[in-house]
Amino acid sequence: MVPHSSSRSVAEPYVSIWDVLITLYKYLRMPIDPTAYKRLSSEEKDALHRSAADRARRKSPGWLSGADHYAAGSVIQNVDLLGERRSFLGIRVAQQQDLPQGKRFGEVFVVELGKIWT
């Protein structure tokens, strides 16, 4: 699925849920920042590569096998940092315990993610 453009000709005085979803979608599809990647431990890098390979396998079932999975998933994206927690469950209003200091109820929203079940 490719979302339609979210660009606007006039800046609106608000942020819509669509704006949030499009921004999340675009960010998660971007390659991981090289500086952030360098800071990861060997174990974290291995998990990241497994996640990328798993994403590639889900994206193109039936024609990749063995090392091809790793090659197809070698472009690590921000979504791979989530590991198995890549299922979008929804957006909710942050509860009191979730609020950053100085924020009030209704000003902050939480994006809920869950594990992909195969």
73-92, pLDDT tens digit by residue?
468 999 998 887 777 788 88
Nearest to 107 by CA among 116, 118, 89, 95: 95
- Asked if residue 41 lies in contact with residue 18, where contact means CB atoms within 8 angstroms, the answer is no
Q: Does the predicted model carry a pTM greater than 0.85?
A: no
What is the C-alpha separation between 72 and 83, in angstroms, rounded? 17
Q: Residues, the chain, total?
A: 118
Q: Which pLDDT tens digit goes with each residue over 30-56? A: 999 999 999 999 999 999 999 898 888
